[in-house]
Amino acid sequence: MKPNEIDEQLKRALRRCEPPEGFADRVLARVEREASRTTSRSVWTVWRWPFLRWAPIAALIVIAVTGISYQVHERQQEAEARAAKQQVMLALRITGSKLRVAKQKVKSVEAGKVENKL
């Protein structure tokens, strides 16, 4: 036997073995299963993020607050409009009564002038 012959014989004896037929397909199938499971799991993982979990609730609160604020604003405007209407009516009533008084005064003045002429 030559020196280091056992090294060479071991290298030859321990050549790599090929995997069984279909091995690559089976690995790919497992990887695909893993990939699909990871995708569905990642959706749930995203849902577990605190921000995203509370986002719909926060949106509902914002919508409710906005709606209530709008209603309050609308009611305030209605109340202001009613008050303005009442003030206008009052002003008109006052104006009407003052016009009547002025008219009566004009009539009485005109009647006095006629008597003086006679």
Partner 1 sequence: MVFSIALRFVRDRSVAEELAQDVFLKLYRELPRLESPEHVKFWLRRVTSHRALDYIRGAHRRAELALDDVPEPTVAGKHNDPLMERSLRKLVSSLPDQARAVIVLRYQEDMEPQEIAEVLGIPAATVKSRLRRSLALLRGKVQRLVGEPIR
Alpha-helix residue ranges (DSSP H) falling in 1-118? 5-13, 23-47, 50-117
Minimum Å distance from CB 17 to partner 1? 5
Residue 14 vs 43, nearer CB to partner 1: 14
Minimum Å distance from CB 40 to partner 1? 16
| CA dist 1 → 6, 10, 61 (Å) | 9, 14, 88
Q: Is 6 in the site for partner 1 (CB under 8 A)?
A: yes
Answer for which of 4, 39, 40, 116 binds partner 1 (CB under 8 A) is: 4
Separation of alpha carbons 60 and 44, rounded Å: 21
Cβ proximity of 7 and 1 under 8 Å: no
Q: Find the binding residues for partner 1 in span 14-53 (CB under 8 A).
A: 14-20, 23, 26-27, 30-31, 34-35
Separation of alpha carbons 89 and 93, rounded Å: 6
Binding site residues, partner 1, CB under 8 A: 1-7, 9-20, 23, 26-27, 30-31, 34-35
